[in-house]
Structure 1
Amino acid sequence: MRLFDFLVKGGPMMVPIVGLSVLTLACALERGVFWFRLLHRNQRTARSILEAARYDLKDATAIAEKSSNLAISRFLSTPLRLTNLTPDTFHLALQAAADREFATMHKGDRWFESLIGLAPLLGVLGTVAQLMAIFANVKPSSEQAIDIAKATNGISDALIPFASGLVVAIFAFIAYRILISLQARQMDYFYKIGNELELIYRQVWHEPSLRLSSRLPEDTPIVSIDS
Protein backbone atom coordinates (compact mmCIF):
# COMPACT_ATOMS: atom_id res chain seq x y z
CA MET A 1 0.00 0.00 0.00
CA ARG A 2 2.87 2.37 0.77
CA LEU A 3 4.29 1.76 -2.70
CA PHE A 4 0.94 2.56 -4.29
CA ASP A 5 0.66 5.77 -2.27
CA PHE A 6 4.19 6.67 -3.32
CA LEU A 7 3.31 6.20 -6.98
CA VAL A 8 0.11 8.21 -6.61
CA LYS A 9 2.04 11.11 -5.09
CA GLY A 10 4.34 11.06 -8.11
CA GLY A 11 1.47 11.99 -10.41
CA PRO A 12 0.26 10.59 -13.75
CA MET A 13 3.76 10.55 -15.26
CA MET A 14 4.60 7.67 -12.92
CA VAL A 15 2.52 5.36 -15.13
CA PRO A 16 4.93 5.41 -18.10
CA ILE A 17 7.91 5.43 -15.74
CA VAL A 18 6.65 2.27 -14.05
CA GLY A 19 6.09 0.79 -17.51
CA LEU A 20 9.69 1.57 -18.43
CA SER A 21 10.91 -0.02 -15.21
CA VAL A 22 9.01 -3.22 -16.03
CA LEU A 23 10.41 -3.17 -19.57
CA THR A 24 13.94 -2.66 -18.24
CA LEU A 25 13.59 -5.58 -15.86
CA ALA A 26 12.16 -7.80 -18.61
CA CYS A 27 15.00 -6.92 -20.99
CA ALA A 28 17.60 -7.53 -18.30
CA LEU A 29 16.13 -10.93 -17.44
CA GLU A 30 15.91 -11.97 -21.10
CA ARG A 31 19.51 -10.95 -21.74
CA GLY A 32 20.61 -12.64 -18.51
CA VAL A 33 19.09 -15.95 -19.58
CA PHE A 34 20.61 -15.56 -23.05
CA TRP A 35 24.12 -14.97 -21.71
CA PHE A 36 23.85 -17.76 -19.16
CA ARG A 37 23.05 -20.18 -21.97
CA LEU A 38 25.72 -18.68 -24.21
CA LEU A 39 28.53 -19.00 -21.69
CA HIS A 40 27.44 -22.42 -20.44
CA ARG A 41 30.02 -25.04 -21.46
CA ASN A 42 31.49 -22.72 -24.09
CA GLN A 43 35.18 -23.22 -23.42
CA ARG A 44 34.98 -26.96 -22.85
CA THR A 45 32.99 -27.53 -26.04
CA ALA A 46 35.28 -25.31 -28.11
CA ARG A 47 38.37 -27.17 -26.92
CA SER A 48 36.76 -30.52 -27.72
CA ILE A 49 36.01 -29.36 -31.25
CA LEU A 50 39.55 -28.06 -31.79
CA GLU A 51 41.14 -31.25 -30.49
CA ALA A 52 38.96 -33.39 -32.75
CA ALA A 53 39.72 -31.15 -35.74
CA ARG A 54 43.40 -32.07 -35.50
CA TYR A 55 42.62 -35.70 -36.30
CA ASP A 56 39.27 -35.87 -38.11
CA LEU A 57 37.14 -33.01 -39.39
CA LYS A 58 34.05 -35.24 -39.44
CA ASP A 59 34.42 -35.98 -35.74
CA ALA A 60 34.83 -32.27 -35.03
CA THR A 61 31.70 -31.52 -37.05
CA ALA A 62 29.75 -34.20 -35.18
CA ILE A 63 30.79 -32.73 -31.80
CA ALA A 64 29.79 -29.25 -32.90
CA GLU A 65 26.41 -30.32 -34.26
CA LYS A 66 25.69 -32.36 -31.13
CA SER A 67 25.84 -29.15 -29.08
CA SER A 68 24.26 -26.88 -31.68
CA ASN A 69 22.40 -25.02 -28.92
CA LEU A 70 25.70 -23.32 -28.05
CA ALA A 71 26.77 -20.27 -30.03
CA ILE A 72 30.41 -21.38 -30.17
CA SER A 73 29.36 -24.73 -31.68
CA ARG A 74 27.27 -23.08 -34.39
CA PHE A 75 30.16 -20.73 -35.10
CA LEU A 76 32.78 -23.48 -35.48
CA SER A 77 30.54 -25.93 -37.31
CA THR A 78 29.75 -23.55 -40.18
CA PRO A 79 33.05 -24.02 -42.09
CA LEU A 80 33.44 -27.62 -40.92
CA ARG A 81 30.23 -28.65 -42.70
CA LEU A 82 31.65 -27.46 -46.02
CA THR A 83 34.09 -29.47 -48.12
CA ASN A 84 37.15 -28.70 -50.24
CA LEU A 85 37.57 -25.19 -48.87
CA THR A 86 40.49 -22.92 -49.58
CA PRO A 87 41.87 -21.08 -46.54
CA ASP A 88 40.27 -17.86 -47.77
CA THR A 89 36.87 -19.51 -48.13
CA PHE A 90 37.28 -21.12 -44.70
CA HIS A 91 37.98 -17.67 -43.22
CA LEU A 92 34.96 -16.14 -44.96
CA ALA A 93 32.70 -18.91 -43.64
CA LEU A 94 33.95 -18.28 -40.10
CA GLN A 95 33.46 -14.54 -40.49
CA ALA A 96 29.89 -14.96 -41.75
CA ALA A 97 29.06 -17.27 -38.84
CA ALA A 98 30.61 -14.83 -36.37
CA ASP A 99 28.56 -11.94 -37.76
CA ARG A 100 25.35 -13.94 -37.26
CA GLU A 101 26.21 -14.78 -33.66
CA PHE A 102 27.35 -11.23 -32.88
CA ALA A 103 24.07 -9.84 -34.19
CA THR A 104 22.24 -12.08 -31.72
CA MET A 105 24.52 -10.92 -28.90
CA HIS A 106 23.77 -7.26 -29.64
CA LYS A 107 20.03 -7.82 -29.53
CA GLY A 108 18.50 -5.58 -26.89
CA ASP A 109 21.20 -2.89 -27.01
CA ARG A 110 18.90 -0.36 -28.66
CA TRP A 111 16.22 -1.01 -26.05
CA PHE A 112 18.61 -0.19 -23.24
CA GLU A 113 19.92 2.88 -25.06
CA SER A 114 16.35 4.15 -25.45
CA LEU A 115 15.49 3.41 -21.82
CA ILE A 116 18.58 5.23 -20.57
CA GLY A 117 17.59 8.35 -22.47
CA LEU A 118 13.81 8.25 -22.10
CA ALA A 119 13.33 7.47 -18.41
CA PRO A 120 15.05 10.62 -17.03
CA LEU A 121 13.26 12.82 -19.57
CA LEU A 122 9.87 11.50 -18.47
CA GLY A 123 10.91 12.05 -14.86
CA VAL A 124 11.88 15.65 -15.55
CA LEU A 125 8.62 16.21 -17.42
CA GLY A 126 6.59 14.82 -14.51
CA THR A 127 8.46 16.96 -11.98
CA VAL A 128 8.13 20.14 -14.05
CA ALA A 129 4.42 19.54 -14.59
CA GLN A 130 3.80 19.10 -10.85
CA LEU A 131 5.89 22.13 -9.94
CA MET A 132 3.95 24.26 -12.42
CA ALA A 133 0.69 23.05 -10.88
CA ILE A 134 1.96 23.76 -7.35
CA PHE A 135 3.13 27.31 -8.05
CA ALA A 136 0.00 28.05 -10.07
CA ASN A 137 -2.02 27.44 -6.90
CA VAL A 138 0.10 29.81 -4.78
CA LYS A 139 -1.85 33.11 -4.74
CA PRO A 140 -1.13 36.24 -2.71
CA SER A 141 -3.66 36.39 0.11
CA SER A 142 -3.96 36.61 3.84
CA GLU A 143 -3.44 32.84 3.93
CA GLN A 144 -0.28 32.95 1.83
CA ALA A 145 1.76 31.27 4.56
CA ILE A 146 -0.57 28.27 4.45
CA ASP A 147 -0.33 28.13 0.67
CA ILE A 148 3.45 28.26 0.82
CA ALA A 149 3.48 25.45 3.38
CA LYS A 150 1.36 23.31 1.08
CA ALA A 151 3.63 24.18 -1.84
CA THR A 152 6.70 23.20 0.14
CA ASN A 153 5.18 19.84 1.01
CA GLY A 154 4.21 19.33 -2.62
CA ILE A 155 7.72 19.94 -3.92
CA SER A 156 8.96 16.69 -2.37
CA ASP A 157 6.14 14.83 -4.11
CA ALA A 158 6.95 16.62 -7.37
CA LEU A 159 10.52 15.26 -7.23
CA ILE A 160 9.29 11.66 -7.13
CA PRO A 161 9.00 11.28 -10.94
CA PHE A 162 12.47 12.74 -11.46
CA ALA A 163 14.05 10.43 -8.88
CA SER A 164 12.13 7.42 -10.24
CA GLY A 165 13.22 8.17 -13.81
CA LEU A 166 16.84 8.40 -12.67
CA VAL A 167 16.60 5.06 -10.86
CA VAL A 168 15.24 3.35 -13.98
CA ALA A 169 17.93 4.95 -16.15
CA ILE A 170 20.72 3.99 -13.74
CA PHE A 171 19.56 0.37 -13.61
CA ALA A 172 19.28 0.26 -17.42
CA PHE A 173 22.75 1.80 -17.76
CA ILE A 174 24.31 -0.78 -15.41
CA ALA A 175 22.68 -3.63 -17.31
CA TYR A 176 23.77 -2.12 -20.62
CA ARG A 177 27.39 -1.75 -19.55
CA ILE A 178 27.46 -5.34 -18.32
CA LEU A 179 26.13 -6.48 -21.69
CA ILE A 180 28.73 -4.43 -23.57
CA SER A 181 31.49 -5.97 -21.45
CA LEU A 182 30.20 -9.50 -22.06
CA GLN A 183 29.88 -8.84 -25.77
CA ALA A 184 33.44 -7.53 -26.08
CA ARG A 185 34.89 -10.48 -24.18
CA GLN A 186 32.87 -13.00 -26.15
CA MET A 187 33.79 -11.43 -29.50
CA ASP A 188 37.49 -11.63 -28.57
CA TYR A 189 37.03 -15.26 -27.56
CA PHE A 190 35.26 -16.11 -30.82
CA TYR A 191 38.06 -14.53 -32.86
CA LYS A 192 40.68 -16.40 -30.82
CA ILE A 193 38.99 -19.79 -31.23
CA GLY A 194 38.22 -19.10 -34.89
CA ASN A 195 41.88 -18.28 -35.58
CA GLU A 196 42.96 -21.50 -33.88
CA LEU A 197 40.55 -23.57 -35.98
CA GLU A 198 41.66 -21.78 -39.14
CA LEU A 199 45.31 -22.45 -38.31
CA ILE A 200 44.56 -26.14 -37.70
CA TYR A 201 42.78 -26.35 -41.04
CA ARG A 202 45.71 -24.74 -42.87
CA GLN A 203 48.51 -26.72 -41.21
CA VAL A 204 46.91 -30.12 -40.76
CA TRP A 205 44.58 -30.44 -43.74
CA HIS A 206 45.06 -27.89 -46.50
CA GLU A 207 48.83 -27.51 -46.84
CA PRO A 208 49.63 -31.26 -46.57
CA SER A 209 47.02 -31.99 -49.26
CA LEU A 210 48.67 -29.42 -51.56
CA ARG A 211 52.10 -30.96 -51.01
CA LEU A 212 50.71 -34.41 -51.61
CA SER A 213 48.98 -33.44 -54.83
CA SER A 214 52.15 -31.78 -56.12
CA ARG A 215 54.24 -34.94 -55.75
CA LEU A 216 54.57 -37.61 -58.34
CA PRO A 217 53.42 -41.09 -57.34
CA GLU A 218 56.26 -43.17 -55.95
CA ASP A 219 55.66 -46.00 -58.46
CA THR A 220 55.90 -43.67 -61.46
CA PRO A 221 58.59 -45.19 -63.76
CA ILE A 222 61.57 -43.03 -64.55
CA VAL A 223 62.50 -43.17 -68.25
CA SER A 224 66.08 -42.48 -69.15
CA ILE A 225 67.33 -41.74 -72.65
CA ASP A 226 70.77 -43.12 -73.48
CA SER A 227 72.86 -41.13 -75.83
Structure 2
Amino acid sequence: MDVVDIFRKGGPAMWPLLALSILSMSVIIERLSYWFRILTQEKEIVERVLDAAGQNWRTATEIAKRFSYQPVGRFLYAPLRLSTPDPEIFRLALESTAEDEIASMRQGEKILEAVIALAPLLGLLGTVLGLIQSLRSIRLGDLASSSAAGVTLGIGEALIATAAGLIVAITSLVFYRLFQAFVVNQVKVFRKAGSDLELLYRQYWLNIQDTMPAPQSAPAAPPMPPEVPQQRTIQRFSFPPRLGKPNISAPDSPDLPRRTDEGYTMPPYLESRREDPKAPEA
Protein backbone atom coordinates (compact mmCIF):
# COMPACT_ATOMS: atom_id res chain seq x y z
CA MET A 1 0.00 0.00 0.00
CA ASP A 2 1.65 3.20 -1.18
CA VAL A 3 1.13 6.77 0.06
CA VAL A 4 -1.27 7.68 -2.74
CA ASP A 5 -3.50 4.71 -1.94
CA ILE A 6 -3.52 5.62 1.76
CA PHE A 7 -4.35 9.21 0.92
CA ARG A 8 -7.25 8.11 -1.30
CA LYS A 9 -8.69 5.79 1.35
CA GLY A 10 -8.51 8.50 4.00
CA GLY A 11 -11.47 10.27 2.48
CA PRO A 12 -12.18 13.94 1.72
CA ALA A 13 -10.70 15.14 5.01
CA MET A 14 -7.22 14.29 3.73
CA TRP A 15 -7.15 17.31 1.42
CA PRO A 16 -7.37 19.98 4.14
CA LEU A 17 -4.92 17.91 6.19
CA LEU A 18 -2.53 17.97 3.25
CA ALA A 19 -2.84 21.77 3.04
CA LEU A 20 -2.17 22.12 6.77
CA SER A 21 0.84 19.83 6.57
CA ILE A 22 2.35 21.85 3.69
CA LEU A 23 1.77 25.10 5.58
CA SER A 24 3.29 23.69 8.74
CA MET A 25 6.35 22.29 6.97
CA SER A 26 7.02 25.59 5.19
CA VAL A 27 7.00 27.45 8.51
CA ILE A 28 9.19 24.81 10.14
CA ILE A 29 11.80 24.90 7.37
CA GLU A 30 11.92 28.71 7.35
CA ARG A 31 12.30 28.90 11.14
CA LEU A 32 14.98 26.21 11.21
CA SER A 33 17.11 28.11 8.71
CA TYR A 34 16.50 31.33 10.65
CA TRP A 35 17.59 29.86 13.98
CA PHE A 36 20.56 28.11 12.41
CA ARG A 37 21.95 31.47 11.22
CA ILE A 38 21.40 33.03 14.63
CA LEU A 39 22.82 30.30 16.85
CA THR A 40 25.99 29.79 14.82
CA GLN A 41 27.19 33.44 15.03
CA GLU A 42 25.53 34.84 18.11
CA LYS A 43 28.23 34.06 20.67
CA GLU A 44 31.02 35.40 18.45
CA ILE A 45 29.21 38.70 17.83
CA VAL A 46 28.58 39.34 21.52
CA GLU A 47 32.18 38.61 22.51
CA ARG A 48 33.67 40.83 19.82
CA VAL A 49 31.45 43.79 20.61
CA LEU A 50 32.01 43.58 24.38
CA ASP A 51 35.78 43.20 24.00
CA ALA A 52 35.94 46.22 21.71
CA ALA A 53 33.70 48.27 24.02
CA GLY A 54 36.17 47.82 26.86
CA GLN A 55 38.89 49.52 24.78
CA ASN A 56 37.35 51.76 22.13
CA TRP A 57 33.67 52.53 21.75
CA ARG A 58 34.04 53.65 18.15
CA THR A 59 35.44 50.24 17.21
CA ALA A 60 32.61 48.51 19.07
CA THR A 61 30.08 50.58 17.14
CA GLU A 62 31.64 49.60 13.82
CA ILE A 63 31.63 45.90 14.73
CA ALA A 64 27.99 46.01 15.83
CA LYS A 65 27.04 47.83 12.63
CA ARG A 66 28.83 45.19 10.55
CA PHE A 67 26.70 42.44 12.14
CA SER A 68 23.44 44.39 12.05
CA TYR A 69 21.90 41.69 9.83
CA GLN A 70 21.73 39.52 12.97
CA PRO A 71 19.22 40.19 15.78
CA VAL A 72 21.91 40.41 18.46
CA GLY A 73 23.94 42.74 16.23
CA ARG A 74 20.97 45.10 15.84
CA PHE A 75 20.36 44.85 19.58
CA LEU A 76 23.89 45.97 20.43
CA TYR A 77 24.10 48.56 17.68
CA ALA A 78 20.92 50.43 18.72
CA PRO A 79 22.45 52.24 21.76
CA LEU A 80 25.96 52.48 20.28
CA ARG A 81 24.86 54.58 17.32
CA LEU A 82 23.72 57.35 19.67
CA SER A 83 26.13 60.20 20.30
CA THR A 84 27.23 59.95 23.96
CA PRO A 85 23.74 59.41 25.38
CA ASP A 86 22.75 59.51 29.00
CA PRO A 87 22.94 56.07 30.73
CA GLU A 88 19.16 56.00 31.09
CA ILE A 89 18.69 56.70 27.38
CA PHE A 90 21.30 54.01 26.64
CA ARG A 91 19.29 51.50 28.65
CA LEU A 92 16.01 52.56 27.05
CA ALA A 93 17.47 51.96 23.57
CA LEU A 94 18.50 48.45 24.61
CA GLU A 95 15.08 47.58 26.02
CA SER A 96 13.07 48.89 23.07
CA THR A 97 15.28 47.09 20.53
CA ALA A 98 15.12 43.84 22.51
CA GLU A 99 11.31 43.91 22.46
CA ASP A 100 11.25 44.35 18.68
CA GLU A 101 13.75 41.56 18.07
CA ILE A 102 11.98 39.10 20.37
CA ALA A 103 8.70 39.83 18.58
CA SER A 104 10.32 39.10 15.20
CA MET A 105 11.65 35.80 16.55
CA ARG A 106 8.11 34.66 17.29
CA GLN A 107 6.99 34.84 13.67
CA GLY A 108 5.21 31.70 12.50
CA GLU A 109 4.10 30.60 15.96
CA LYS A 110 0.48 31.54 15.33
CA ILE A 111 0.42 29.40 12.19
CA LEU A 112 1.78 26.40 14.07
CA GLU A 113 -0.76 26.93 16.84
CA ALA A 114 -3.59 26.90 14.29
CA VAL A 115 -2.27 23.70 12.69
CA ILE A 116 -1.95 22.00 16.08
CA ALA A 117 -5.57 22.84 16.91
CA LEU A 118 -7.17 22.08 13.52
CA ALA A 119 -5.37 18.92 12.38
CA PRO A 120 -6.83 16.51 15.02
CA LEU A 121 -10.32 17.93 14.49
CA LEU A 122 -10.12 17.44 10.73
CA GLY A 123 -8.85 13.89 11.21
CA LEU A 124 -11.73 13.12 13.54
CA LEU A 125 -14.16 14.59 11.04
CA GLY A 126 -12.76 12.35 8.29
CA THR A 127 -13.15 9.30 10.53
CA VAL A 128 -16.76 10.16 11.33
CA LEU A 129 -17.57 10.60 7.64
CA GLY A 130 -15.91 7.25 6.85
CA LEU A 131 -17.89 5.48 9.57
CA ILE A 132 -21.13 6.94 8.28
CA GLN A 133 -20.36 5.70 4.79
CA SER A 134 -19.34 2.22 6.02
CA LEU A 135 -22.31 1.68 8.31
CA ARG A 136 -24.85 2.96 5.84
CA SER A 137 -25.01 -0.30 3.85
CA ILE A 138 -24.92 -2.76 6.77
CA ARG A 139 -28.00 -4.69 7.86
CA LEU A 140 -28.76 -6.54 11.04
CA GLY A 141 -29.11 -9.85 9.21
CA ASP A 142 -25.70 -9.47 7.58
CA LEU A 143 -23.71 -9.22 10.81
CA ALA A 144 -22.88 -12.95 10.83
CA SER A 145 -22.27 -13.19 7.08
CA SER A 146 -19.21 -12.44 5.01
CA SER A 147 -20.52 -8.98 4.06
CA ALA A 148 -19.64 -7.73 7.54
CA ALA A 149 -15.95 -8.05 6.65
CA GLY A 150 -16.30 -5.18 4.21
CA VAL A 151 -17.75 -3.02 6.97
CA THR A 152 -14.81 -3.64 9.27
CA LEU A 153 -12.44 -2.87 6.41
CA GLY A 154 -14.25 0.44 5.83
CA ILE A 155 -13.99 1.33 9.52
CA GLY A 156 -10.24 0.66 9.42
CA GLU A 157 -9.84 2.90 6.39
CA ALA A 158 -11.90 5.63 8.08
CA LEU A 159 -9.38 5.79 10.92
CA ILE A 160 -6.66 6.81 8.46
CA ALA A 161 -7.86 10.43 8.59
CA THR A 162 -7.57 10.51 12.38
CA ALA A 163 -4.06 9.09 12.25
CA ALA A 164 -3.03 11.63 9.60
CA GLY A 165 -4.42 14.52 11.63
CA LEU A 166 -2.58 13.37 14.75
CA ILE A 167 0.69 13.02 12.83
CA VAL A 168 0.44 16.57 11.47
CA ALA A 169 -0.49 18.00 14.88
CA ILE A 170 2.25 16.15 16.79
CA THR A 171 4.95 17.15 14.30
CA SER A 172 3.90 20.79 14.46
CA LEU A 173 3.76 20.69 18.25
CA VAL A 174 7.32 19.34 18.54
CA PHE A 175 8.82 22.12 16.45
CA TYR A 176 6.57 24.72 18.09
CA ARG A 177 8.00 23.85 21.51
CA LEU A 178 11.51 23.81 20.08
CA PHE A 179 11.15 27.31 18.67
CA GLN A 180 9.74 28.57 21.96
CA ALA A 181 12.79 27.19 23.76
CA PHE A 182 15.02 29.08 21.32
CA VAL A 183 13.14 32.31 22.06
CA VAL A 184 13.51 31.85 25.82
CA ASN A 185 17.23 31.26 25.35
CA GLN A 186 17.52 34.44 23.27
CA VAL A 187 15.85 36.44 26.03
CA LYS A 188 18.55 35.27 28.43
CA VAL A 189 21.32 36.08 25.94
CA PHE A 190 19.93 39.56 25.29
CA ARG A 191 19.59 40.28 29.00
CA LYS A 192 23.16 39.15 29.74
CA ALA A 193 24.73 41.00 26.80
CA GLY A 194 22.71 44.15 27.47
CA SER A 195 23.66 44.20 31.16
CA ASP A 196 27.37 43.80 30.38
CA LEU A 197 27.28 46.51 27.73
CA GLU A 198 25.38 48.89 29.99
CA LEU A 199 27.86 48.32 32.83
CA LEU A 200 30.79 49.15 30.55
CA TYR A 201 29.06 52.27 29.32
CA ARG A 202 28.26 53.50 32.83
CA GLN A 203 31.95 53.22 33.73
CA TYR A 204 32.84 55.09 30.56
CA TRP A 205 30.24 57.75 31.38
CA LEU A 206 31.68 58.32 34.87
CA ASN A 207 35.16 58.73 33.40
CA ILE A 208 33.84 61.33 30.97
CA GLN A 209 32.16 63.25 33.77
CA ASP A 210 35.38 63.27 35.82
CA THR A 211 37.54 64.56 32.96
CA MET A 212 35.14 67.27 31.85
CA PRO A 213 36.02 70.77 33.19
CA ALA A 214 33.71 72.23 35.74
CA PRO A 215 31.30 74.74 34.26
CA GLN A 216 32.29 78.36 34.92
CA SER A 217 29.94 80.26 37.10
CA ALA A 218 28.26 83.28 35.63
CA PRO A 219 29.59 86.72 36.75
CA ALA A 220 27.81 88.18 39.70
CA ALA A 221 25.33 90.88 38.96
CA PRO A 222 26.24 94.42 40.14
CA PRO A 223 24.65 95.46 43.42
CA MET A 224 21.44 97.34 43.14
CA PRO A 225 21.48 100.99 44.33
CA PRO A 226 19.68 101.66 47.58
CA GLU A 227 16.14 102.67 47.24
CA VAL A 228 15.47 106.35 47.88
CA PRO A 229 12.27 106.92 49.82
CA GLN A 230 9.86 108.95 47.83
CA GLN A 231 8.57 112.16 49.40
CA ARG A 232 4.89 112.28 49.77
CA THR A 233 3.17 115.55 48.97
CA ILE A 234 0.06 116.32 50.94
CA GLN A 235 -2.50 118.22 48.96
CA ARG A 236 -4.52 120.65 50.95
CA PHE A 237 -8.04 121.10 49.87
CA SER A 238 -9.70 124.50 50.21
CA PHE A 239 -13.31 124.47 51.06
CA PRO A 240 -15.62 126.54 48.85
CA PRO A 241 -16.82 129.87 50.29
CA ARG A 242 -20.05 129.91 52.10
CA LEU A 243 -22.98 130.61 49.97
CA GLY A 244 -25.41 133.31 50.84
CA LYS A 245 -28.60 132.58 52.67
CA PRO A 246 -31.01 131.12 50.19
CA ASN A 247 -34.12 133.03 49.42
CA ILE A 248 -36.88 130.83 50.60
CA SER A 249 -39.61 133.47 50.55
CA ALA A 250 -42.71 132.34 48.87
CA PRO A 251 -43.81 134.07 45.70
CA ASP A 252 -46.32 136.87 45.85
CA SER A 253 -49.82 135.61 46.30
CA PRO A 254 -53.03 137.64 46.57
CA ASP A 255 -54.17 135.45 49.47
CA LEU A 256 -51.20 136.26 51.72
CA PRO A 257 -50.49 139.50 53.61
CA ARG A 258 -48.00 141.78 51.97
CA ARG A 259 -45.36 143.85 53.69
CA THR A 260 -45.22 147.48 52.68
CA ASP A 261 -43.57 150.58 54.06
CA GLU A 262 -46.72 151.47 55.94
CA GLY A 263 -47.16 147.95 57.37
CA TYR A 264 -48.90 144.80 56.32
CA THR A 265 -51.68 144.89 53.78
CA MET A 266 -54.35 142.30 54.37
CA PRO A 267 -55.91 140.43 51.48
CA PRO A 268 -59.46 141.40 50.47
CA TYR A 269 -61.21 138.43 52.03
CA LEU A 270 -59.54 139.14 55.39
CA GLU A 271 -60.51 142.81 55.18
CA SER A 272 -64.14 141.77 54.74
CA ARG A 273 -63.89 139.50 57.75
CA ARG A 274 -62.47 142.25 59.85
CA GLU A 275 -65.30 144.64 58.87
CA ASP A 276 -68.07 142.05 59.26
CA PRO A 277 -67.10 139.20 61.55
CA LYS A 278 -70.36 137.39 60.82
CA ALA A 279 -69.82 137.31 57.09
CA PRO A 280 -69.52 133.78 55.73
CA GLU A 281 -66.18 132.56 54.62
CA ALA A 282 -65.55 132.59 50.92
Are 1:211 and 2:210 counterparts? yes
Q: Give the CA deviation at 1:56.
A: 1.6
Contact 1:138/1:144, CA 8 A, preserved across alignment: no
Alignment RMSD, CA only?
Answer: 1.7
Amino acid at match of 1:211: D
| Structure 2 equivalent of residue 197 of structure 1 | 197
What is the letter of the counterpart of residue 19 of structure 2? G
Are the equivalent residues in 2 in contact too, given 1:120–1:165 (CA < 8 A)? yes
| 1:74 counterpart letter in structure 2 | R
Are 2:142 and 2:148, in contact at CA under 8 Å, matched by a contact in 1? Answer: no
* Matching residue of 1:175: 175
Inter-partner Cα distance in structure 1 for 2:174 and 2:143: 48
Bigger drift between 143-152 and 29-38 goes to 143-152
The C-alpha deviation readout for 1:66-108, integer Å capped at 9, x for no partner, is 1222211111000000013111111110011111110111001
Shift of the alpha carbon at 1:122?
0.3
With CA pairs under 8 Å and 6+ residues apart, which has the higher RCO, 1 or 2? Answer: 1
Moved over 6 A (4+): none
Percent identity, aligned pairs only, is 37
Match of 1:131 in 2: 131
The 2-side partners of 1:123 and 1:142 are apart by 29
- Cα distance in structure 1, aligned partners of 2:2 and 2:75: 51
Structure 2: unaligned runs, 5 residues or longer: 217-282
Judging by fraction of residues, say which structure has more helix: 1
* 2:146 equivalent in structure 1: 146
Where 1:79 maps in the other structure, the secondary structure is: helix
Segments of 5+ residues of structure 1 without an aligned counterpart are 218-227
Distance in 2 between residues matched to 1:87 and 1:201, nearest whole Å = 7
3-state SS in 2 of match to 1:118: helix
Residues 142 and 97 from structure 1, CA distance in 2 versus in 1: closer, same or farther, beyond 3 angstroms?
closer
Q: CA deviation at 1:178?
A: 0.5
Alignment deviations for residues 34-64 of structure 1 (CA, whole Å, 9 cap, x no partner) = 1011112111111110111112211111011
1:65-214 equivalences in 2 (<5 Å): 65-141=65-141, 145-203=145-203, 205-213=204-212
Secondary structure of the residue that 1:145 maps to in structure 2? Answer: coil
**Any conservation in 2 of the 1:65–1:73 contact (CA below 8 Å)?**
yes
User: 1: CA distance between counterparts of 2:151 and 2:143?
Assistant: 13
Instruction: Write the letter of the residue equivalent to 1:209.
Output: I
Structure 2 Cα separation of the partners of residues 112 and 197 of structure 1: 35
3-state DSSP class of the match of 2:85? coil
